[in-house]
Structure 1
Amino acid sequence: MRGQHDQNSGGVVAARLRRVRPHLAAVILLGPILGLTSVLVFGGWLPGLATPALVLIAGAVYFGLRRFRPRRWPHAAVLLGLMSGAYLGLNVPAVAWMAAPLGAVGLALLGFTLADRARRQVLLPYTPDFADSPVEVPWPARGATGLELLVGADRITLIGSRGRLRTARPAVDFDDVGAVEQVMVARRATLHVPGVGELNVTVTPGPAVRIAVPPGEWILPTDQGRDIARLVARRKELAGEAVPAHR
């Protein structure tokens, strides 16, 4: 059941999520607090306080909705930092033209550093506890930059490049996922991902995981094929258990 799923998500993963809350709180709060301080110190335009207030609300809502998707945290932190830093710099008299870009870059880098540290503390190292948690787990491909498999709470997603500045993100619900097994690849090959236009996967020699999906299969070069297979199997089971709870 879903409630049982949430209870089982305790342990190592839940402890990691609790441990990084201060990092995420800093990402959300620091920029708006500095923006408020700059208005009070430099006598800025009071109605302009709507900007840090909106940044605060946006950050709280985003990280609340994406609290189980650590992979996305650094990107969101950069955007929040850019907005807060630019606003902070604009409130500095006489040198706003210089302070705004410096503030934007500085807070963006700080936000990225905090959020990326939180991401790594949650996701690394991988443990079997992830199978019973709702945390989205990314699995980078071996020898293929930009290619990774995301195992979420209800679906799997393959992310890959389709050329310069273009990506493909085919997603399959667990109901449609078939067998997942570790295989050995004998030689380097470029394989087409079925049903995804121009997306091709370069498979390097060594262990890989093969996932049966309509209308074919995905093959991801990785040394963690057994872990992925167990993770997907357990989450398929949990997704099936979740159905009766809504009846």
Structure 2
Amino acid sequence: MEHVDHILVVDDDREIRELVGNYLKKNGLRATVAADGRQMRSLLESTPVDLIVLDIMMPGDDGLILCRELRAGKHKNTPILMLTARNDETDRIIGLEMGADDYLIKPFAARELLARINAVLRRTRMLPPNLQASDHSRLVSFGRWRLDTTARHLLDEDGTMVALSGAEYRLLRVFLDHPQRVLNRDQLLNLTQGRDADLFDRSIDLLVSRLRQRLLDDSRSPAYIKTVRSEGYVFSFPVETLGAHA
């Protein structure tokens, strides 16, 4: 039986929940709606979902709190598309910093929401060809770290696993595939997201900041990802490809 993508819509506005849910169902998706964080948690306990549409402005636990909670738990790899108010750029930036995959500004057209949902799902599932894992190069080593390209997580020198979001993994793979080479923001957007690279440039800066945190890289004097003023970023550490059982 063919898989039908299941979208969870979390918004305290009942009209928006019903409109979005009905629109997604009419366009071949499975949609479930939740009015708040409590309902969201309950549904996630019993039902697997492929993507969460999450409103930022909600009473109680707002979307930013819920996004952080999701990224810290067992749903850390579930794509999140955040809904934000028109002028709240700060919320959009914070949402991306916390691990949201994309955002859409209210008010929005249902058709655009559907397009962004499909784009995020495509990006999540289809790495660019140069990022595909191969049996003979499962581990990539740099400094104190190894990247497992099959499981898509980091291992430190003690073998402790560090989980990566989909966006963090794609960005790290691009850096590891192009070490010692300055990459500007447009190149990084295109290499990590392909034709769906429609996030604003600042999102790459935020993603680099998140990746540095994962690597325990001091942003003031980074050892791995260095900033090249007016140009972009460069992965400056030597990279070694190991065998599958290294």
Give TM-score, length-normalised by structure 2: 0.26
